[in-house]
Amino acid sequence: MEEEKTLDALRDACPGAILEAGLSLGDAVAVIRPEDLPAVAAFLRDGPPRMAMLLDLTCVDRPDESGRFEMVYHFLSLETYARVRIKARLPAVNPEIASLTGLWKNADWLEREVFDLFGICFADHPNLSRLLLYDGFEGHPLRKDYPLRRRQPRIPPRQDGPGS
């Protein structure tokens, strides 16, 4: 199995980095220690798996688990079209992980989006500022503890508008 080979190669290259590994829907999935992300990503890109493309990078908020924020990275090999999914769990307080902008340019905006909506800090990011929301927006709306009905309008509503 090609996926198993990729995971084994990753285990050899970054000993101790992989906490869990398996297959999901035909793709290799590995949960790694957050501090090992740069080494794992560099190996996936430049080592034998040849994952030349960072497809997507996002975050999942699981408030009830100890590693509350789960970063998810999707990689694609342009030679074999194999995909690998890498996950890293971050704590609820001061979640921080290394930036991948040095390896993939497109990580720039993806990480800014995650910073904007989840409040994850990316160390060594060249310009970690809001991407989608406006200046003055408080909080991170894709966190599960963001109030469902909280609205932060930029201009006050009409005085004779609905509900007044």
Q: Nearest approach, Cβ of 156 to another protein (angstroms)?
A: 9
151 contacts another protein (rule: CB under 8 A) = yes
Q: Nearest approach, Cβ of 113 to another protein (angstroms)?
A: 13
**How far apart are alpha carbons 118 and 105 in whole angstroms?**
21
Q: Which residue's CB is nearer to another protein, number 67 or number 141?
A: 141
158 contacts another protein (rule: CB under 8 A) = yes
Q: Which stretch binds another protein (CB under 8 A): 28-36, 56-64, 106-114, 143-151?
A: 143-151
In order of 9, 11, 54, 129, 137, the CA distances from 117 in angstroms are 34, 32, 20, 11, 11
Q: Nearest approach, Cβ of 96 to another protein (angstroms)?
A: 24
Angle at Cα 121 formed by Cα 22 and Cα 60, nearest 5°? 40
Q: Nearest approach, Cβ of 79 to another protein (angstroms)?
A: 37
Tokens of 60: 């999942």
Residue from 20, 64, 145, 160 in contact with another protein (CB under 8 A): 160
161 contacts another protein (rule: CB under 8 A) = yes
Phi, psi of 129 (to 5 degrees): -135, 170
Q: Which of residues 113-142 bind another protein (CB under 8 A)?
A: 132-134, 141
Q: Do 99 and 120 touch, CB atoms closer than 8 A?
A: no
The neighbour count for residue 96, using CB atoms within 10 Å, is: 13
Of 57, 53, 36, 37, residue with least CA distance to 45:
53
145 contacts another protein (rule: CB under 8 A) = no
Q: Which residue's CB is nearer to another protein, number 16 or number 150?
A: 150
Binding site for another protein (CB under 8 A): 132-134, 141, 146, 150-155, 157-162
